[in-house]
Each structure stands twice: as C-alpha cells, then as structure tokens.
Amino acid sequence: MLATVTSIVMFGLALSMALCAYRLFRGPAVVDRLLAVDTISTNLLAFLIVLSIDQRTDVYLDSVIVLALLAFVATVAIAKALVWGRIID
C-alpha cells in the first residue's frame, strides 16, 4: 500500500514541479522566477523525503537538511542582490 502511495505522491510532486516550471518560464518579473525556483527547491525536499520513505532508509534526510540550507541562502542572496545590487556589505 505504501509503495502505491509513494508512487502517486512522486507523480504529484513531478506535476507540481512542472507547474512551477511554467511560472519559471512565463513569470513576468525576476522575482516571479526567483519564487518559482524557491518553490521547486522546496518540492525537491519533499521529493527526497518521499524517496527516503520509498527505500526505507534515512540517508536522504541529511541531504534534505543541507538542501534546505542551500535553497534558503540562495533565495536570500538573490533577493538581496535584486534590492541593493550586491550581496556582501
């Protein structure tokens, strides 16, 4: 049962990432694309968690923590670069 559910959830997450990719290519402003990339990275975290459940191992959860940190730093850096034109004061 759980294998079926993880397959369904993986398909749904792929669909969700496709919707984000639509906004990524369509988005009128740069911040729309930034928001789409941020959402794709959060969906990637969910995908790794589901993959970890599917394979019954917890090694992917460490990657999830590191990727969450990386996505947050990237989002804040790009947003700061959009406001002030530079990242490091």
Partner 1 sequence: MTSGAEILASVLLLIGLAFTLLGSVGLVRFPDFYTRMHAPTKATTLGVSSMALAAVLVIPGGIVAVLMKALTIIAFLFLTAPIGAHMMARAARSGGIAPCEETRIDEMPTEPVGEDDGGHPAG
Q: Please tell me whether residue 70 binds partner 1 under the rule CB under 8 A.
A: no
User: Among 25, 42, 87, 88, which residue interacts with partner 1 (rule: CB under 8 A)?
Assistant: 42
User: Among 15, 25, 87, 88, which residue interacts with partner 1 (rule: CB under 8 A)?
Assistant: 15
Q: Please tell me whether residue 65 binds partner 1 under the rule CB under 8 A.
A: yes
Sign of the Cα pseudo-torsion (72, 31, 21, 14, in order): positive
First vs last C-alpha separation in the chain = 53
Q: Please tell me whether residue 34 binds partner 1 under the rule CB under 8 A.
A: yes
Q: Which two tokens stand for residue 72?
A: 């947050």
